[in-house]
């Protein structure tokens, strides 16, 4: 892991966001947007932050439960630390920076990186299913696109069933076993296979997906409160939550850092399409993104620096030790997984 790369990604994301937000404000009557922001009650914004924090807490405990599911017990405090620290890289392109969470899980709980990366994948699948479920109502409220999302959700469910099936993994491992280049990675491939099977099993998704629905839904409720505070009554709470989910999906599939630019454009565009003034839509989008994405990044950095010894590893103080332990330890851990 490289702290320098993490900071570079954060700076680029901040600059990109500043540019996007400036364009939004300029394009939708800057003085009106500023007036809407000034009139927004701090108490409502605090509630939005609180709802987001509860959502992050739910996902943190879910991460701990997933680790225990694959045989790596972890304390609740450690689970919160691991998940929240991973949010520091939620603004990396395609969220590839979330390799930080498996790295920290290896250092804290001894979970091999191969299993950690596979577990992040299983977690993301559960999130995708949950957000699609929440988005169905939003597309219905807009009067179109719902059946396309139903079809996409069905494809995701079928794909998840295949990805968690034993026959698929026997086939995949058998194919890799016949490849000369892959034979030396057999232990890691087996660990990844076992983790994905457990992480995507219906017994796991039966509780993992509802946790995701609740966590993302709470952020959507915050979005609904924001719209209400700005005086827009064209959407009820359920429709607002769903529209928040639609914008989240659109941003996620761009693989841009945090969906920056596309998520904002989608959210503001949908609000304008439902009858909200452009200035109000821009204000709602800015407030919501700060109370969700940027709030998560801020909490992530707070969590990351709360454990100085691990933070020093990222600073490079123990780079030599990490090279010696990590290069040999990761392989042996994977082999024993």
pLDDT for residue 225: 97
pLDDT for residue 294: 93
- Phi (first) and psi of residue 237, to 5 degrees: -60, -45
Q: Where are the domains of the chain?
A: 3-157+204-336
Give the pTM. Answer: 0.86
The set of residues, in sequence order, having a beta carbon less than 8 Å from that of 216 and lying 6+ positions away, is: 55, 127, 130, 131, 134, 245, 248
Instruction: Read off the pLDDT of residues 102-111 as tens digits, 9 standing for 90 and up.
Output: 989 999 999 9
The secondary structure of 196-228 as a DSSP string is HHHHTSHHHHHHHHHHHHHHHHHHHHHHHHHHH
Q: Which among 271, 303, 247 is positioned nearest to 28, based on CA atoms? A: 271
Residues of the chain with pLDDT under 50: 317-337
pLDDT for residue 177: 78
Q: Taking a C-beta distance cutoff of 8 angstroms, is the pair 69, 199 a contact?
A: yes
Read off the tokens for 123.
Answer: 């977690």
For the purposes of burial, counting CB atoms within 10 Å of the CB of 16, is it exposed (0-12), middle (13-18) or buried (19 or more)? middle
CA dist 337 and 334 (Å) reads 5
CA dist 267 and 282 (Å) reads 9
Instruction: Read off the pLDDT of residues 310-333 as tens digits, 9 standing for 90 and up.
Output: 888 877 644 444 444 444 444 444
């Amino acid at each position: 892991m490289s702290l320098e790369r993490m900071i570079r990604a954060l700076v680029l994301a901040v600059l990109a966001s500043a540019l996007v937000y400036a364009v939004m404000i300029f394009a939708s009557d800057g003085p009106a947007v500023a007036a809407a922001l000034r009139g927004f009650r701090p108490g409502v914004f605090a509630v939005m932050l609180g709802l987001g924090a509860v959502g992050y807490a739910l996902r943190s405990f879910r991460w701990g439960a997933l680790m225990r599911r694959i045989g790596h017990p972890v304390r609740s405090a450690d689970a919160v630390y691991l998940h929240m620290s991973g949010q520091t890289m939620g603004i990396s392109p395609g969220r590839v920076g979330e390799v930080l969470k498996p790295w920290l899980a290896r250092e804290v709980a001894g979970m091999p990186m191969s299993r950690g990366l596979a577990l992040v994948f299983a977690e993301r699948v559960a999130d995708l299913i949950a957000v699609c479920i929440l988005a169905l109502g939003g597309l219905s409220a807009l009067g179109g696109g719902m059946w396309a999302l139903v079809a996409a959700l069905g494809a995701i469910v079928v794909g998840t069933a295949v990805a968690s099936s034993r026959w698929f993994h026997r086939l995949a491992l058998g194919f890799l076993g016949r490849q000369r280049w892959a034979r030396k990675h057999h232990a890691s491939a087996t660990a990844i296979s076992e983790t994905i099977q457990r992480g995507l099993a219906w017994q796991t998704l039966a509780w993992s997906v509802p946790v995701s629905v609740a966590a993302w839904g709470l952020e959507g409720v915050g979005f609904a409160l924001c719209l209400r505070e700005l005086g827009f009554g064209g959407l009820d709470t359920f429709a607002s939550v769903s529209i928040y989910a639609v914008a989240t999906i659109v941003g996620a599939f761009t693989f841009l850092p945090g969906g920056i630019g596309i998520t904002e454009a989608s959210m503001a565009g949908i609000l304008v399409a439902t009858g909200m003034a452009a200035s109000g839509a821009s204000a709602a989008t800015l407030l919501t993104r700060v109370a969700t994405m940027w709030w998560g990044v801020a909490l992530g950095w707070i969590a990351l620096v709360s454990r100085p010894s691990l933070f020093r590893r990222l600073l490079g103080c123990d780079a030599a030790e990490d090279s010696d332990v990590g290069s040999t330890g990761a392989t042996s851990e994977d082999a024993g997984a």
